[in-house]
Structure 1
Amino acid sequence: MCRWLAYAGSPLLLDEVLYRPEHSLIDQSLHARMGVESTNGDGFGIGWYSPGGDGTPAVFRDIGPAWNNRNLRELAAHVRSPLFFAHVRASTGSAIQQTNCHPFRHGRWLWMHNGAIADFPRLQRDLCMAVDPALFPSMEGSTDSEVMFYLAVTFGLDQDVPGAVARMAGLVERLGKLHGVDHPLQMTIAVSDGERVWAFRYSSQKQSRSLFYSNRTDTVRELYPELDYLRDVSDETRLVVSEPLGSLPGVWNELPEGSYAVLPSAPTEDYLPFVPDLT
């Protein structure tokens, strides 16, 4: 599978999250603790929104491992962003090529995924036929993750993010049943329009891949006033990660099975239930 993180909050150098934590995403690319594989070296990608930009995210992806990519290290030390994605890939069978590396971009949207559609080749044609024909030329790769993205765009991502993802998941579930595929969907997904991040955790088998969100910064600041890097970030700054970036108690919460979170979120509403739309 894969490991990923999404950040939303005060503008921050990517390096602060990608490299510096004790169990950073770069460390997870070599030593994942909660993934199916401990090594995630089949490519990587970052996507970020620039303050004052036109709302379209920049994307940098490559097919080599993240842990020894000099260009990634250089970018991370100089790019400052209020909202960014990062993903390290372990292929589930599709080709190792740039167009299959996450995150995927369409207009102002970013999307990344950890998981798989079971027996994807059996479902692929029917799933692709459900993509809006006007969107089909934008699909460049061969992954189930990209098909899921364009299905969500087809089903109204611009108007209703949770609803569009629920309709996408529902279609996968229905086609899986039609083709005799047990437990067709496994997903943790992050999607953003540049203003907010939606993070989803769901699987047909109710045994989803790991996903965690950080407590509000003001809460963590009260617990650990000695952490200097928290002094200059907003109270609403949050992270969603496949694995916690460190071991400090009280910082990380597991996103429950069958739920989604929105960043930034209201202090009293960390997550909401997620159910595929089977209608």
Structure 2
Amino acid sequence: MCRWLAYSGSPILLDELLFKPAHSLIDQSRHSTLGVETTNGDGFGVGWYATPASPGVFRGIGPAWNDRNLVNLASTVTAPIFLAHIRASTGTPVQETNCHPFRFQNWLWMHNGSIAEFARLKRDLVLGVDPGLYPAIEGSTDSEVMFFLALTFGLRDDPPGAVERAVGFIEAVAAQHGVDHSVQMTVATSDGTRLWAFRYSTVRQSRSLFYSTDVRALRELHPENAQLLQVSDEARLIVSEPLGQMAGAWNAVPESAYGVIQEGQDLIAGFHPQRP
């Protein structure tokens, strides 16, 4: 499986998220405590929005802890939205086109988890992708197919509903092939303005996912922490594993739920796949 983080808030230097925390994503790439694997070294990627319409992406096939270009990038790129991912392959090749986040137009997508017996299901799943979208698929992962199914089912208009329909379609195809417990996922996706995160598995035992406590509440709990004064009230993180041990900072995303980080009131709601 993999580890990831997503940030939305006031513009921040990528280095502050990727390298500086005590249990940063780079530390997790070697010493994951909540993942299926301790080491996540099968590639990495970061995506960011200089403008909502134009996300940048940098991906590499080596381990994140040993990439000098990533260090240089992280020390110079500032943005209000970041998606960062370290990969542990579930069987597909280690190649750049299989590294997350995936991009289509102004949308970014990354995933931790798997579609069970993907090789058996792949043909029928890919046939569910809109023919106009199919040429944009570059890699061979289940994660990218899930992204393009979500796009097919209306991600650009209704993200929660589209992901519910995509997951329902995957579960229906899996049932036709006699595959049980087909979906395991935590997903983050963004259009450059809002950020959505999903936690779900068919067996209802999903991989770990956490969101950060409201910054205003954290300032009251930890008035000595100068870093909390450097970010806006809107700043929020969603992570596979907490980045540190600050008391009161992290909250588990409920099972079978999704959240939206946006200007104003954020939202957490139930996630219910819709089969065709």
TM-score, normalisation: structure 2: 0.98
- Which deviates further from its counterpart, 98-107 or 129-138? 129-138
TM-superposed CA distance for 1:264, in Å, is: 2.8
TM-superposed CA distance for 1:270, in Å, is: 4.3
Q: Secondary structure in 1 aligned to 2:54?
A: coil
Instruction: Provide the C-alpha distance between the structure 2 equivalents of 1:158 and 1:69, rounded to a whole number of angstroms.
Output: 33
In structure 1, the residue matched to 2:271 is: 274
What are the superposed Cα offsets for residues 209-242 of structure 1, whole Å, 9 maximum, x if unpaired? 0000001111111111111111121111000000
8 Å contact from structure 2 (residues 52, 191) kept in 1? no
Instruction: Provide the C-alpha distance between the structure 2 equivalents of 1:91 and 1:265, rounded to a whole number of angstroms.
Output: 34
In structure 2, the residue matched to 1:115 is: 113
In structure 2, the residue matched to 1:47 is: 47
In structure 2, the residue matched to 1:254 is: 252
8 Å contact from structure 2 (residues 35, 207) kept in 1? yes
In structure 1, the residue matched to 2:173 is: 175
Q: Secondary structure in 2 aligned to 1:57?
A: strand
Instruction: Provide the C-alpha distance between the structure 1 equivalents of 2:264 and 2:207, rounded to a whole number of angstroms.
Output: 25
Instruction: Provide the C-alpha distance between the structure 1 equivalents of 2:40 and 2:263, rounded to a whole number of angstroms.
Output: 30
In structure 2, the residue matched to 1:74 is: 72
In structure 2, the residue matched to 1:11 is: 11
Given residue 155 of structure 1, which amino acid in structure 2 is its aligned partner? F
8 Å contact from structure 2 (residues 52, 193) kept in 1? no
In structure 2, the residue matched to 1:21 is: 21
In structure 2, the residue matched to 1:37 is: 37
Matched, 1:86 2:84: yes
Instruction: Provide the C-alpha distance between the structure 2 equivalents of 1:45 and 1:133, rounded to a whole number of angstroms.
Output: 27
Instruction: Provide the C-alpha distance between the structure 2 equivalents of 1:125 and 1:265, rounded to a whole number of angstroms.
Output: 40
TM-superposed CA distance for 1:54, in Å, is: 6.2
What are the superposed Cα offsets for residues 123-159 of structure 1, whole Å, 9 maximum, x if unpaired? 1000000101111111010000000000001111111
Given residue 132 of structure 1, which amino acid in structure 2 is its aligned partner? D
- Which deviates further from its counterpart, 212-221 or 226-235? 226-235
In structure 2, the residue matched to 1:238 is: 236
Instruction: Provide the C-alpha distance between the structure 2 equivalents of 1:96 and 1:173, rounded to a whole number of angstroms.
Output: 26
What are the superposed Cα offsets for residues 158-206 of structure 1, whole Å, 9 maximum, x if unpaired? 1100000000000011111110001000000000000011000000000
Question: Taking structure 1 as reference, are residues 70 and 151 closer, same or farther at Cα in structure 2, changes over 3 Å only?
Answer: same
- Matching residue within 62, 65, 70 for 1:64: 62
Runs (4 or more) in structure 1 with deviation over 6 Å come to none
Aligned length: 276
8 Å contact from structure 1 (residues 238, 264) kept in 2? no
Flag structure 2 segments of 5+ consecutive residues without an equivalent.
Answer: none
Given residue 98 of structure 1, which amino acid in structure 2 is its aligned partner? E
- Which deviates further from its counterpart, 218-227 or 29-38? 218-227
In structure 2, the residue matched to 1:224 is: 222
8 Å contact from structure 1 (residues 203, 258) kept in 2? yes
Q: Give aligned-pair identity as a percent.
A: 61
TM-superposed CA distance for 1:265, in Å, is: 6.4
TM-superposed CA distance for 1:114, in Å, is: 0.1
TM-score, normalisation: structure 1: 0.97
8 Å contact from structure 1 (residues 114, 189) kept in 2? yes
